[in-house]
């Protein structure tokens, strides 16, 4: 039984290694995006799923990592991947710790609102601080090339992205099974109980913010090398909401949920809807069978009701005398005025008898 499972694992690994060469460049592009999205969801799993700290600033932290990697690549020491990914992750971790210091005593909805405020402040800083982010135009980096590999090919970039993702997943899994992970779970359950057990709640919260920021910063550097450019509008509040929603749907407390959620989201977002697999179902609502014209029912009236209906019809036919009247109306230009019109007056009983 164990040998069979081991063979299945090796077959799965072999299939993943040759996957981009089987399905082509389009699939490799989606798989690279799935790896980046997996790292973004992994940062939420650590911070929200294991520690219970809701953050809506993940996209802004991803932007910090991307712009830091761009500055290191274009200026200064001009480091290439993976060195600039480490520096980008460290910069995002420092910003995340700064956010965590101000949000230590806040939980739940108030923490989400506080991190949202930090996200907006960071996005505004990106737009105004042109030497760092390039303003609205953003920044660009040269294509990532090594003596042995050309990462402009999505099939080659697939190995780099998923190798980085697997490395960080293994690091986070080891943290989960260590003393740090047990302290995180205790804080998530009850901070008061964790303090009675001798756990330094402040320290472990800030450590969770730092680990989450480092992961999302590395994701930002990979995204920069994959796309080749980064603009402040790419890391807005809507992306943070998307990260959190997909993490919840995939399973916010599990590493496997981050992987599965990212793959499903990227596949549905870029393949199913792009290739119109649903046959235009979302472009228009199919006609409802309830809208069909139903046969009119025959209403049985009593003789008295029939006589009343005929008298009403006869009185309506006698309303043939026009008379002038005034009515309140609004002109096309928007002005209000009284207008003279002609209405019909119902004849009185003596008039009808004389007629």
Q: What is the pLDDT of residues 219-243, one digit of tens each?
A: 999 998 888 888 888 888 888 898 9
pLDDT score recorded for residue 92? 93
225 neighbors 33 (Cβ within 8 angstroms): no
Query: What does pLDDT average to over the chain?
Result: 76
pLDDT of residue 355 exceeding 60: no
Q: What is the pTM of this model?
A: 0.73
226 neighbors 157 (Cβ within 8 angstroms): yes
pLDDT score recorded for residue 108? 76
d(CA 13, CA 31): 15
pLDDT of residue 21 exceeding 50: yes
CA 55 to chain centroid: 14
Q: For 189-214, what is each residue's pLDDT tens digit?
A: 888 888 888 889 889 999 999 999 99
pLDDT score recorded for residue 84? 83
User: Does residue 274 or residue 122 have the better pLDDT?
Assistant: 122
pLDDT of residue 56 exceeding 50: yes
Tell me the two tokens of residue 286: 């199919």
3-state secondary structure of 174: helix
């Amino acid at each position: 039984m164990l040998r069979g499972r081991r063979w299945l694992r090796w077959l799965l690994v072999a299939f993943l290694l040759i996957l981009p060469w089987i399905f082509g460049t389009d699939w490799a592009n989606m798989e690279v995006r799935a790896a980046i999205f997996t790292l973004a969801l992994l940062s939420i799993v650590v911070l929200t799923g294991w520690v219970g700290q809701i953050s809506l600033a993940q996209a802004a932290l991803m932007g910090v990592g991307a712009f830091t990697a761009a500055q290191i690549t274009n200026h200064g020491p001009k480091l290439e991947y993976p060195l600039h990914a480490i520096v980008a992750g460290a910069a995002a971790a420092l910003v995340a710790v700064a956010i965590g210091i101000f949000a230590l005593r806040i939980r739940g909805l108030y923490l989400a609102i506080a991190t949202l405020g930090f996200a907006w402040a960071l996005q505004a800083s990106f737009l105004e601080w042109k030497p760092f982010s390039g303003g609205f135009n953003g920044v660009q980096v040269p294509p990532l090339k090594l003596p042995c590999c050309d990462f402009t090919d999505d099939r080659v970039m697939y190995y780099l992205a998923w190798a980085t993702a697997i490395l960080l997943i293994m690091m986070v899994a080891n943290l989960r099974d260590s003393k740090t992970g047990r302290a995180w779970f205790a804080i998530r359950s009850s901070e008061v109980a964790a303090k009675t057990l001798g756990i330094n709640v402040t320290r472990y919260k800030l450590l969770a913010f730092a680990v989450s920021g480092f992961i999302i910063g590395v994701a930002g550097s990979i995204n920069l090398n994959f796309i080749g450019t980064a603009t402040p509008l790419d890391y807005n509040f809507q992306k943070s909401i998307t990260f959190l929603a997909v993490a919840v749907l995939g399973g916010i407390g599990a590493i496997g949920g981050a992987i599965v959620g990212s793959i499903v989201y990227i596949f549905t977002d870029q393949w199913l809807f792009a290739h119109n697999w649903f046959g235009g179902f979302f472009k228009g609502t199919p006609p409802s069978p309830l809208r069909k014209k139903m046969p009119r029912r025959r209403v049985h009236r009593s003789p008295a009701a029939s006589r009343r209906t005929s008298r009403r019809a006869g009185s309506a036919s006698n309303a043939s005398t026009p008379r002038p009247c005034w009515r309140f109306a609004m002109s096309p230009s928007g002005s209000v005025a009284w207008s003279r019109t002609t209405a019909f007056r119902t004849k009185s009983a003596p008039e009808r008898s004389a007629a």
